[in-house]
Amino acid sequence: MKVGIVFGGTSEEHPVSVKSAREVARHLDAGKYEAFWIGITRDGAWRLCDGPGEGWETGGRRVALSPDRSAPGLLVLEGGRYATIGLDLVFPVLHGKFGEDGALQGLLELSGIPYVGCDVQASALCMDKSLTYTVVGDAGIATPKFWTVAPDEKVDPGRFDYPVFVKPARSGSSFGVTKVTREEEFDGAVEAARRYDPKVVVEEGVVAAEVGCAVLGNDGDLVVGEPDRITLSHGIFRIHQEDDPESGSENSTVTVPADIPAQSRLLVQETAKAVYRALGCRGLARVDLFLKEDGAVVLNEVNTLPGLTSYSRYPRMMAAAGLSPADVVDRLVALALDGKLR
């Protein structure tokens, strides 16, 4: 099977994507799949390369993905002419803007090539926190109280009860996120968020433990990993912004399986599946939740292409449930082919 694996990208999560691709490369069965590695540089150039190893950004051949369904696959520039390579499947290993926001998914829909992960609609919904909360809230699932700040809109900081969290509405990981405890900090936090997205979301602070759940599957047939729990010594969770995340975080510890009561574990898993279905997710997603002292569960956010690095939460939760990274890759490929006629 010819599989195009797209990694890198122009978002702030470019380095994480490269690390995720390296982990996928370690667990991709060469007996089943012929891999075509498509690296997107930070400035948006597409390269057909030997893999996500060192130096890929300066080597390789120029390549594009054909949106023409009569000639689906890759167009590779060779000697001033384009050669074509047919693909059976595309596996996006991209995070953040232009990776999991529906942009790439739209190009893949035009191409007619099956691909791993959520479709255009679900990707766009999950990328925009305000839309995620609106859809999930309408489905009867608890979300934080939130306010949307439009581009160039001025907001009175006195209207909020502190603390609040100020976030880019459409950005990955915790880039641009600030915990605001006083009115005087609010405007600066909005400016920080707008470096990543002109649309900003302000959320009430939820006093709770941070937990997550990995979900795998299409429609009603879902598999969930063992939930995890994040313990913070200070600040907020910023795992992908550490200098050396492979060696651990300076302010957080992730426990898998989560050290929570059995009843809470089941509620987290069932809520994660309900969120996944409400948003129309397919393939995979990591659903992050708050677990309150009274046992209630509140949505935090949804990542439709979660990190797959050696230290990422999604593969660790699935491994704790008995699915190795190689198992996850195989299942994602099968799910993408199953959803070919969506």
User: How many whole angstroms separate alpha carbon 149 and alpha carbon 197?
Assistant: 11
Among 223, 220, 172, 170, residue whose Cα is nearest residue 198: 170
- Given a contact cutoff of 8 angstroms between Cβ atoms, the answer to whether 276 and 257 are in contact is no
Place of tokens 């433990």: 209
Rounded-to-integer distance, Cα 162 and Cα 274, Å: 30
Give the separation between CA 282 and CA 218, rounded to whole angstroms.
5
Report whether 100 contacts 122 (CB < 8 A): no
For strands 228-232 and 252-255, give the pairing.
antiparallel
Write phi, then psi, for 218 (nearest 5 degrees).
-120, 140
One DSSP character per residue, 228-284 reads EEEEESSS---GGGSSSGGG--SSEEEESS--S-HHHHHHHHHHHHHHHHHTT-EEE
The residues, any chain, with a CB within 8 Å of residue 235's CB and separated by 6 or more, are: 179, 251
DSSP letter string over 99-154? TSSSHHHHHHHHHT--BSS--HHHHHHHHSHHHHHHHHHHTT-----EEEE-TT--
Q: What separation, in Å, do the N-terminal and C-terminal C-alpha atoms of the chain show?
A: 20
For the annotated catalytic residues, the residue numbers are 16, 19, 95, 240, 246, 286, 307, 311
